[in-house]
Amino acid sequence: MPATLSSVADTGLPHRHHRKSQTRRLLEGAIKWKTFTLGVVLIVIFVIAAVFASQIAPFDPAKPDFKSLKQSPSLTHYFGTDDKGRDIFSRVIHGTRISFAIAIASVSIASLIGLPLGLVSGYFGGIADSIISRLVDALFAFPPILMAISIMSIRGKGELSAMIAIGLIAIPEFARVSRSAMISEKENDYVLAARAIGCTPSHIIFKGILRNTLGPVLVLISLGFAFAILNETALSFLGLGAQPPSSSWGADIAASRRYIRDAPWLSIFPGLAIVFLVLALNLTGDGLRDLMDPRRNRR
């Protein structure tokens, strides 16, 4: 909701009363929005699993047990064991921690670089907009996974390289969305008023416009997490992400391909973890988009 003229002189933000009423409406809408609530609940479950992985997992995920090779799911091993006797349930739980760590780091990289680029491009226009837009268009021309593989071929394998590669390939999307939001906001009255009273461009962009465009940014971040987890899984499946004996869902699925007929649980449970986490993130992103749509809020 754009700021009023009187509030621009002080903070460039909407009145506190309006922020509180908007927050209350969003919370009430979130409770009624069943798919959004389901997505949030699933994310909370995965976050708890990631934070308390060491306490929840009954076995050491990296310790082989050659007496328990490829056991089917049971009360001792809930998801069965793999070809080295390692407990799959423990590996799925610890894999949640790796997926979240890589997703958080990569989305942070994309946000810190892509959002300022898009905001500056949309606000100033002209040569700056042309240069940044052409750069973003050039990056969009490359398939994301191929660009990530190219970056990792330079940096090498490992979780850190995966974080950097996934973060860099997500920058164009963050830059484009923030640029579109900036263009739609920069001609509003509160921006013109802020310019009239002498506010600096950095103050207008980061203290006023950015806070009034948090809706699409939050949606992009939530969907960016799903994008990052899918790409981390793909890179680990190809042997470029988390390296053994780390508990990576993609690496576990890759290692279980040869046993897909006689031990399907080796790939089923890591695959289900990926499906449910990405589904939860997509449901949350779609819910945020609908809840922050002013036309839907008015209805």
d(C-alpha 88, C-alpha 117), whole Å: 42
Quick one: which H or E segment has residue 193?
A: helix 189-196
Say yes or no to pLDDT of 2 above 60.
Answer: no
Q: What is the pLDDT of residues 238-285, one digit of tens each?
A: 888 888 778 889 999 998 888 888 889 999 999 999 999 999 999 888
d(C-alpha 163, C-alpha 232), whole Å: 8
The superfamily (CATH) of domain 5-298 is MetI-like (1.10.3720.10)
Q: What confidence tier does 137 reach under pLDDT thresholds 50, 70, 90?
A: confident
Say yes or no to pLDDT of 4 above 80.
Answer: no
24, burial (CB in 10 Å: exposed 0-12, middle 13-18, buried 19+) = exposed
pLDDT in the model for residue 12: 43
Residue ranges covered by each domain of the chain: 5-298
Average pLDDT, integer, range 15-39: 64
Q: 62 or 215: which carries more pLDDT confidence?
A: 62
Taking the model in full, what pTM does it have?
A: 0.81
Residue in 221, 229, 104, 232 with CA at minimum distance from that of residue 162: 232
Q: How many CB atoms lie within 10 A of CB 98?
A: 23
Our CA angle for 188, 189, 191, nearest 5°, is 70
Q: What confidence tier does 120 reach under pLDDT thresholds 50, 70, 90?
A: confident
Supply the mean pLDDT for the chain. Answer: 83
